[in-house]
């Protein structure tokens, strides 16, 4: 148990569906991340939130919409996905602090178990 | 050169043997380095941080070579339970984290 909980663990959805992935961390961290892991590809960072503010969006298509209502919760809203979006979606958290350039996340990350998404 | 590069393997190693693999990185200003372990269909978990002076944790030794821009992981007296994918993680600047594709390790009985 890493202290990062993701739900659901498995999700099958059609291309016209709307669904949301949820992540909750109980570690007192203030930085949260969404990653995508496809077969035979490295982990791809999608979004970063430091102190509830989105600080990174790695050219992710708009059919993925993140939401961070507080430092413990992170959502990924999905709509009109494509079959190639099928993957393992991992949430992670870490401790962040304020640096000269703003929020700086410490880089030891704790991952949730992931949501395995299949888009039909 | 890719930002972070690892030999994907698989490395098939008999139980009890010593195995080592490297990870190269392109940004010489990279600040932090880590090894994560990911079991099949599970999430990545931190194995160890990599310090400039090298560090050891039981059977695992991690080293950093800044001149040649690589980090290494050495596993001694390998166990069946060491079978996993080992991910190299590099932090080229404060707000960026890059994962390698991972090296698959199979320990054979």
Pairwise CA distance, residues B105 & B109, whole Å: 13
Contact yes or no for B99 and A2 at CB 8 A: no
Residues in chain B within 8 Å Cβ distance of A40: 101
Contact yes or no for B89 and A45 at CB 8 A: no
Which among A56, A105, A108 is the nearest to B34, CB-wise? Answer: A108
Q: What is the pLDDT of residue A5?
A: 96
At B50, give phi and psi (nearest 5°). Answer: -115, 120
Q: Are A14 and A33 in contact (CB under 8 A)?
A: no
Strands, DSSP E only, in A1-120? Answer: 4-7, 10-13, 18-25, 31-37, 44-50, 53-57, 64-70, 73-79, 87-94, 96-99, 102-105, 110-111, 115-119
At B77, give phi and psi (nearest 5°). Answer: 45, 55
Average pLDDT, chain B: 92
A vs B: CB pairs below 8 A: 48
Q: Are B38 and B100 in contact (CB under 8 A)?
A: no
Contact yes or no for A104 and B95 at CB 8 A: yes
Q: Is A105 on the interface with B (CB under 8 A)?
A: yes
Which among B4, B41, B45 is the nearest to A111, CB-wise? Answer: B45
At A78, give phi and psi (nearest 5°). Answer: -120, 135
Query: Choosing among B8, B45, B97, which should be mutated to test the A contact, i.e. which has the most A CBs within 10 A?
Result: B97
Which segments of chain A have a pLDDT < 50?
103-105
> Smallest CA–CA separation between A81 and chain B, in Å?
22
Of A98 and B66, the structure prediction assigns the larger pLDDT to B66
> Smallest CA–CA separation between B97 and chain A, in Å?
7
Residues 74-103 in A contacting B (C-alpha not used; CB under 8 Å): 90, 99, 101
Contact yes or no for B34 and A101 at CB 8 A: no
Q: What is the pLDDT of residue B4?
A: 92
pLDDT in tens, B42-56: 999 999 989 888 899
Query: Choosing among B31, B94, B101, B104, which should be mutated to test the A contact, i.e. which has the most A CBs within 10 A?
Result: B94
pLDDT in tens, A13-26: 998 889 999 999 99
Which among A42, A99, A110 is the nearest to B100, CB-wise? Answer: A42
Q: What is the pLDDT of residue A105?
A: 47
């Amino acid at each position: 148990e890493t202290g990062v909980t993701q739900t659901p663990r498995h999700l099958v959805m059609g291309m016209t569906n709307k669904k949301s992935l949820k992540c909750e961390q109980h570690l007192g961290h203030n930085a949260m991340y969404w990653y995508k892991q496809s077969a035979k590809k490295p982990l791809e960072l999608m979004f970063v939130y430091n102190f509830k503010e989105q600080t990174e969006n790695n050219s992710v298509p708009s059919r993925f919409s993140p939401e961070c209502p507080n430092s413990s919760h992170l959502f990924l809203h999905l709509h009109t996905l494509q079959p190639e979006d099928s993957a393992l979606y991992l949430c992670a958290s870490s401790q962040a602090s304020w640096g000269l350039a703003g929020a700086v996340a410490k880089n030891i990350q704790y991952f949730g178990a992931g949501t395995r998404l299949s888009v039909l | 050169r890719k930002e972070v590069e690892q030999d994907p393997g698989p490395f098939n190693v008999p139980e009890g043997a010593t195995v080592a693999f490297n990870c190269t990185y392109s940004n010489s200003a990279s600040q932090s380095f880590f090894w994560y372990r990911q079991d099949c269909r599970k999430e990545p978990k931190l194995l160890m941080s990599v310090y400039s002076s090298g560090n050891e944790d039981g059977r695992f030794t991690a080293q950093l070579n800044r001149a040649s821009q690589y980090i290494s992981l050495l596993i001694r007296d390998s166990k069946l339970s060491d079978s996993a994918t080992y991910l190299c993680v590099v932090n080229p600047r404060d707000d960026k984290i890059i994962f390698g594709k991972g090296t698959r390790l199979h320990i054979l009985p």
